[in-house]
Amino acid sequence: MKHTVKEITLKNGAKGLFINIPDATIFNFNFNFRAGEYLVDPNKWEVPHLMEHVLLGANQKIPNAHDFHAEIEKNGAYSNASTSVYEIEYEAECADFEWQRIFDLLILSITKPLFLEEELRTEIGNVREELSSRSNNLSRKLSQMISKKVGLLVKTDQERLKLINNISLDDIKKHFIKTHQTSNLRFIIAGNITPKKEDILKTQLSKMDLARGNGRLPLPKEIPKKPDSPVIVNNRSIDNIYFYIDTFRKTQLKSSELVTLELINTYLTETLYSKILGTAREKGLIYSMSSGIGINQYFTNWFLGAQCSRDNIAALFEIIVSEISKLKNGDIKDSDITATKQYLRGRFQRSAQTVSGVVSFYSPKYFFNGEIYEFKKRTQNIQLITKDEILEVVNSLINDKIWSVGFLGKTDKELYHKLYDQIAVLWV
């Protein structure tokens, strides 16, 4: 979608992007505070998550959560919030004709929550159900266990369930005061932002009734380390083996390098003709695979994982080792590079056909470190990727020799250690 981006810095310390999309018929609001679990006592891990749930409830003008949600949704608008180790993000999307009403309601909920004891009790029950449901996700469980062994800030869903009763209303209120400050706020607002609408948005954001604070809260220092052995999670109830393979570089990748890593990820795992997934599918070894990129202030991470039968997993690991080794050594055809670039360009264009899609392009980088990654540069950076850059990036993720492999399944340490040794040759 055609759009323009303007960064706004307000006197109260809040900063954000106005994305003007002249043809848009909806508005999208995203408010991001550094307010995640890293800022609380580990025994109070669920404070940010519970605060996020309770905040979108009773407030100074609307006396209970039921009525607040009814007011938000009555014309088809959508609202949600999410909590991570680092951040809490509040989001709303609505039709253009009610943009100011929804914007005002979102500001109201963020600045004037009542934090009622009865709503906290209710949300403790809801969060308990949420975590119980997530704990049945075996891939998620394995991923959390690996992250703990690598030394990252994480608690498993089972640990979180045990801690949830530690939270009091006073904990919620203290965390709100500590984190919900205007200078700790970053926002992205997208839609048909006319000059009149821009003035209204600026005025309302400038008047937010929150303490100013002392700036964006700093991120924690996490330094990944290599576990000495495979991470093994025993589960006798399943026949297949779940696994994840992670590798880390000790520094952040630049934006252009991240695009190169996306090409590497796509080339190896993301399509049915990719070198790892595609080859494994052709041999009938596996149905699907997950993979992705993690960005942190102190490292960059690439991972892949899947579930696979015990009979097929050694053959699958052979393909993984073979294809990554080829890439490390520069064994990649120019035609394959060109084809992967075309795939990335097409996928990018598809992703940018909605207002929320445009916001999703800008938000990760902007909320992480304030970088405004130019939309046009995305396609340019894809086109400019060279074979030498591919080799440099893939080897930079190997050379620091920080890696891990995790397995979840029936007890079979001998098999897991054989697979561990099989994959370890990549980092020799």
CA 9 – CA 304 distance, rounded (Å): 39
Amino acid at residue number 252: Q
Cα distance between residue 301 and residue 111, in whole Å: 36
**What pLDDT does 411 receive?**
87
Reported pTM:
0.94
Indicate the average pLDDT of the chain.
96
The one-digit pLDDT tens for each residue of the chain (428 residues) are: 899 999 999 999 999 999 999 999 999 999 999 999 999 999 999 999 999 999 999 999 999 999 999 999 999 999 999 999 999 999 999 999 999 999 999 999 999 999 999 999 999 999 999 999 998 999 999 999 999 999 999 999 999 999 999 999 999 999 999 999 999 999 999 999 999 999 999 999 999 999 999 999 999 999 999 999 999 999 999 999 999 999 999 999 988 899 999 999 999 999 999 999 999 999 999 999 999 999 998 999 999 999 999 999 999 999 999 999 999 999 999 999 999 999 999 999 999 899 999 999 999 999 999 999 888 889 999 999 999 999 999 999 999 999 999 999 998 999 999 999 999 999 99
* DSSP codes joined into one string, 4-64: EEEEEE-TTS-EEEEEE-TT-SEEEEEEEEE-SGGGS-GGGTTHHHHHHHHHSS-BSSS-S
Report residue 411 as tokens. 């007890």
Question: What Å distances lie between residue 170 and 59, 110, 292, CA to CA?
Answer: 17, 17, 38
- Cα–Cα distance list, 146 to 240, 245, 379, 395, 404 (Å): 18, 9, 34, 22, 7
pLDDT number for residue 1: 82
Q: Give the whole-angstrom CA distance, residue 419 versus residue 312.
A: 12
77: which DSSP letter? Answer: -
244 burial via Cβ count (<10 Å: 0-12, 13-18, 19+) = buried
185: closest CA among 32, 48, 7? 32
Let me know: does 99 contact 47? Beta carbons within 8 Å.
no
Q: Which domains does the chain have, with CATH numbers?
A: 4-206 (3.30.830.10), 231-427 (3.30.830.10)
**Cβ neighbours of residue 22 under 8 Å, at least 6 residues apart?**
2, 3, 192
- Helix, strand or coil, per DSSP, at residue 94: strand
287 vs 307: CA distance, rounded Å: 9
Terminal Cα-to-Cα distance of the chain (whole angstroms) = 46
The confidence score (pLDDT) of residue 375 equals 86
Distances (CA, A) of 226 to 98, 121, 183, 219, 298: 51, 40, 37, 22, 15
Q: Distance between CA atoms of 354 and 376, rounded to whole angstroms?
A: 17
Q: What is the pLDDT of residues 183-239, one digit of tens each?
A: 999 999 999 999 999 999 999 999 999 999 999 999 999 999 999 999 999 999 999
Burial code (b: 16+ CB inside 10 Å, e: under 16) for 111-129 equals bebbbbeebbeebbeebee
Task: Compute the distance between CA of residue 19 and CA of residue 359 in angstroms, rounded to an integer.
Answer: 8
The tokens for 203 are 């005025």
